[in-house]
Structure 1
Amino acid sequence: MLPCFTVYSSELVQKAAINDIAASVMSFNMNYKDTGLFGVYAVAKANCLDDLAFAIMHEMSKLSYRVTEEDVIRARNQLKSSIQLHLDGSTAVVEDIGRQLLTYGRRIPTPELFARIDVVDASTVKRVANRFIFDQDVAIVAMGPIQGLPDYNWFRRRTYMLRY
């Protein structure tokens, strides 16, 4: 079980903790100059794989439909806090400088980076989710005892929600 969570945690982390379906859940995002990769990394017990897969796909597809300004404000604040906490040593700062040089061709000052983060609103999240998540192919990597993991078609069908 996830050791602790707060009301400020994502809904996915809260669901995983309350239902004891994951030992660890973490999102990731990697930017490159011309592409990127984002997703969810999770560790679960073999008998909870389908529940965790459902929770992850539900939260991902929900980004196309239901995002509130409160959600976005919380996410912006968490991201800015994470950036500040990550840059606490010279190694992390040098790594950040290198990543920004490769991605943007220059180092982006923190105030400019935070200003870019602050322009994101709920409609931006929905627009981007509709472009990159809604009804799009997904990549899945799993290892260990994965007999309980749903097949690819199951995941693919959950990139959208049918609304009547």
Structure 2
Amino acid sequence: MLCLLEDCSLNCVCSSELAQRISINEIAENMMAFNTNYKDTGLFGVYASAKPDCLDDLAYSIMYELSKLCYRVSEADVTRARNQLKSSLMLHIDGTSPVAEDIGRQLLTYGRRIPFAELFARIDAVDSSTVKRVANRFIFDRDVAISAVGPIQNLPDYNWFRRRTYWLRY
């Protein structure tokens, strides 16, 4: 799913390569990566908003970085991402409402509440080979979903996006 936000504005120091590329080149006004888990499936993607004359550069940057997950992921990148995820999870449970939402989401998805120790152990088990394997399964040569509103004349067509899922770049 590509919705042309990692919550990033142009003036912040962003951590992912995609966020850095977007920020340095000022091709998006904001951007966020999202992942939603369900019991039997899931959804992930990137939401971004940009000026009409930046849509092609934004689309290229997003597809380049997503496709790169199939081939080039360093252990340092994975370690940084694991630490960011664990920090985000801890910061998210800052009150009773977020805790209740977290419990409800886990019950619907897993049928039980997963203790943080177990959750962090699962996160720590992910390495660069895991990321590449999963990216090859769900990104490489797969159909994409695109949703766009506004003046999108400069947004590449569906076939352009589809072709970017099987670049043979190393």
TM-score (norm 1): 0.96
Query: Structure 2, unaligned stretches of length 5 or more?
Result: 1-8
Query: Structure 1, unaligned stretches of length 5 or more?
Result: none
Separation in structure 1 between the aligned mates of residue 154 and residue 106 of structure 2, nearest angstrom: 40
Number of aligned residue pairs: give it.
162
**1:42 aligns to 2:48 (yes or no):** yes
Report the CA distance between 1:144 and its aligned residue. Answer: 1.0
TM-score (norm 2): 0.93
For 1:104-160, what per-residue CA distance to the aligned partner results, in whole angstroms no more than 9, with x for missing partners? 000001111000000000000000000000000000111111111000000000002
Q: How many percent of aligned residue pairs carry the same amino acid? A: 75
Provide runs of 4+ in structure 1 moved above 4 Å: none
Aligned twin of 1:80: 86
**1:128 aligns to 2:153 (yes or no):** no
Separation in structure 2 between the aligned mates of residue 94 and residue 163 of structure 1, nearest angstrom: 44
Using CA pairs below 8 Å that are at least 6 residues apart, which structure has the higher relative contact order?
2
Aligned twin of 1:3: 11
Aligned twin of 1:56: 62
Does the aligned pair in 1 maintain the 2:71–2:169 contact within 8 Å? Answer: no
Structure 2 letter corresponding to 1:4: C
How large is the Cα RMSD of the aligned pairs?
Answer: 1.1
